[in-house]
Amino acid sequence: MSPAVVSIFVEENTVVASDGLNSQTVTQNGLGSGFLVADNLVVTAAHVVRVPERIQIQFSDGEIIPGTVLSSYNAPDIALVKLFRPKMNATIVNFGDSDKLKVGQQVFVVGSPYGLTDSFSSGYVSSFRRSNLGSNPFTSTEFIQTDAAINQGNSGGPMFNLQGEVVGIVSHITTQSGGFEGIGYASSSNLAKKLLLDNSRPWLGAEMHLLTLRQGEILNLPQEYGLLVQRVSSNSVFGQMGVKGGDIEAIFNEEKLILGGDIILAFNDIKFDPSDNTLTKLGEFANNLGPNPKFNITIFRKGKKLILESK
């Protein structure tokens, strides 16, 4: 198997309901896969590293190097992790051109399903699922459907073509039983390269929920829409700014959410709403932040508007 493929171990703080009224914060462990695209950069799936407090990258030779998230996109389910130090004598893989894939072409998936490192499965391209491939980076997706076996722990691992190039990043499956039933998806290499390697959008470090109009009314928002912060990674940009996540798990307007956290109303002077025009502006704003970003956000906390500035 390729020594460029890695296992990713994640620790996250999450809120769980301990009874009908009270919640508690616990640490949960997660497992995923990834692959080296440089001696200090690992590509994986966004849901593997959502709001991590700790990331450990394990290589095929047993070496473990900590990492931190550089960039992440939820809709296409892709993320870029930077190692705290480069991997010596690193083996890296190259992205292939996913646009050249054809239905019926053979592909291979390598990862750590259920913790079984260097696990290999093969299959074929079944179809392609694309949506909103435009200037808005938050909702653009491009998935390759495959019947190659994908299980828990495979997420974030590479999908190879016959030339040994990465053409997809393993994302999710469609299932009724909970196990693999022959329908799996990988985000395309071309979209991953464009979003992760060809721009400098930083990872802000929070899991957020877009409030519906009705949910906003119930929470007495001073505007129609906002982003309810669910969880925040303490070592992220948002964590250092003092953004607060929720502390009460509840069913809110028929949806399971974590309540009690900040609600983001605006980024700099861009008032949030889910229109494609606003999301495009926010994408441009995020891509222009770069390292050590300087910006502010307007939040709604305990019935009051506050402005938090990046440090």
| Catalytic annotation, residues | 47, 77, 155
On whether the CB atoms of residues 77 and 38 are closer than 8 A, the answer is no
- Mind spelling out the 3-state secondary structure of 186-241? EEEHHHHHHHHHCCCCCCCCEEEEECCHHHHHHCCCCCCCCEEEEEECCCCHHHHH
Give me the residues paired with residue 282 across strands: none
On whether the CB atoms of residues 244 and 232 are closer than 8 A, the answer is yes
Torsion of CA 75, 142, 283, 303, to 10 degrees: -20
Euclidean distance between CA atoms 108 and 2, whole angstroms: 12
Euclidean distance between CA atoms 182 and 180, whole angstroms: 6
Q: Which contiguous run of DSSP H or E holds residue 146?
A: strand 141-146
Torsion of CA 25, 27, 29, 30, to 10 degrees: 40
Euclidean distance between CA atoms 15 and 245, whole angstroms: 10
Tokens representing 89 are 């004598």
